[in-house]
Structure 1
Amino acid sequence: MKPTLVILAAGMASRYGSMKQIESFGPAGETIMDYSIYDAIRAGFGKIVFIIREEFAEQFKSIFEPKLNGKIATDYVFQHLEDYTGGRTLPAERTKPWGTAHAVLCCKGKVNEPFAVINADDYYGRDAFVKAYDFLTTQCNEQTYCIIGYELKKTLSDNGTVSRGVCEVDADNNLTDINERTKIYRNDQGVITYEDEAGAHEVSEDSLVSMNYLCFAPGFIDLCEEQFNVFLDAHMNEPKAEFFIPTATKYFIQSGKGNVKVIPTTAQWFGVTYKEDAPSVQASINALVAEGEYPASLWA
């Protein structure tokens, strides 16, 4: 059974200010997602599952279905606030989705094979898809998952802070800890720094970070369901609390359920966290097309 690629596209794009998932960046109007799908198809993935907000469904399908018809199977999952909340009464001020691990949970019943998860608005590079496909088809099982690890210095934005899951690994490249750092930037001295309640902390340029490119067996979805209930018991009344994939992944290793390999990629990440990132993303894609990494029109 070929692995599936799950694309997280239900975020509210609050920092970016528009529906960045469907913004054109490529020479023939391609979105960043188009390049990920193209890389997934040539790596060997068998299906794409888009996680989107239901109100965008028709607009979204009208963009992607004509391009992908006959090239790869597609399916859609809608992330609703009330999904898997167990009948709890949700706080009225809650408008933000419950986060990436809740999005994965919404795939229950639709994804029953080994799968990779990526963000819609991140460019991951061909090498990442080749490595993910290889892992999913040769090593992945219910005790062995993986993160495609990027060098932190290759994942920063010039236009503001970024959030990254900073990985700690053992001698065998198994994940021992992962911490979501939500304010990472290069300071005035050129040192990569993150901020939390305790202040500013230096972090190594070569740290491997999760860019939300992870590979799982289908049992991870059940683990997300179990842990989402734990999360809601603790954080339901915090209007901005989110249930992140790194949180569920960390629970998986620390509860002794299995190992998560961190597989390094040489790929250069880029993405659109801020509107000001858009020109450099466009320039990066144009450069890849000029080098022959992609055709000028992906789906022609």
Structure 2
Amino acid sequence: MSGTGIVMLNMGGPWTLDDVRPFLRRLFADLDMLPARRVLGPLLIRARLARVTRQYAEIGGGSPLRDWTERQAKAMTAELDELSPATGPHRAYMAFRYAEPGAAAALAAMRADGVRRAVAFPQYPHYSVTTTGSSLADLWRTLTATGMEDAFEWTVIDRWPAEPAYVAALAETVREGLAAFDRPAEATVLFSAHSLPERIVAAGDPYPVETRATVRAVMDHLAIPNPHLLAYQSKVGPMPWLRPGTEATVGELGTRGVKRLLIVPVSFTSDHIETLWELDVEVAEAAERAGITHYRRAPALNDRPSFTAALARIVEKRIT
């Protein structure tokens, strides 16, 4: 094969319950994700292992992220073959940061397939050193460690927070979520993004700015009068993280008398534990305690055609 290889970089997850411990070990050993890893890493694993394992058991026994990525990759490459036959055939390779298959497996498969032109495509719409930065650094380290520095000609896509096709796909999920309410115009829209340590933002990380840009673009695209907010979920460890927290915001909205709430996972491109457990179970229970009688979550992007077409167009713009 010649054509173009697209390396889809993502965090990954524990595919089975037996994978939870090694996944957490890799996650908390990442210096970009957890600078105080030598002290906090082992403590966080011990504190979270039983709870996280139980949560994965409740959502089916493991993370569905790999399955969704495979589906996204299949649809994206089929679309790319039609959009840009001159750069085809296109083939996707998964490289997960804290699970297998990792970067080494993706690079080895690409070389075996005879790929020369490669695209590094992190599946994080918003750049952060903890996600995109960490994944790209791992990819470049692996290239050096495997002696493949000169094996490929690279194009890098490191962010896409306001790409029109992505914004339109995300807006589609909001529209579908609102349609589930008896009185959609009365629903408050709460966008929920993965949180980040405040000290990383203070050092200049653009993640919160780019996340707000997505929220603004989606609401502009929808042109609806519903009130909307942005909050952050998935805090880990004792250090200060971005605020306001999603669960705390839900509680505050309840005290204000909000009864209809649509929560929109904005920094996640597929269902995994942050949507299926944190939002669908933990935050839903917080909403009930707060007196919010109509709580809905907008569907994740997953493999909806508008989103996989958006992925293809993001790549096509960079390689043609």
User: TM over 0.5: same fold?
Assistant: no
Structure index of larger Rg? 2
Higher relative contact order (CA 8 A, sep 6+): 1
- TM tier, shorter chain? 0.3 to 0.5
* Length-normalised TM-score, structure 1: 0.32
Task: Considering fraction of residues, name the structure with more strand.
Answer: 1
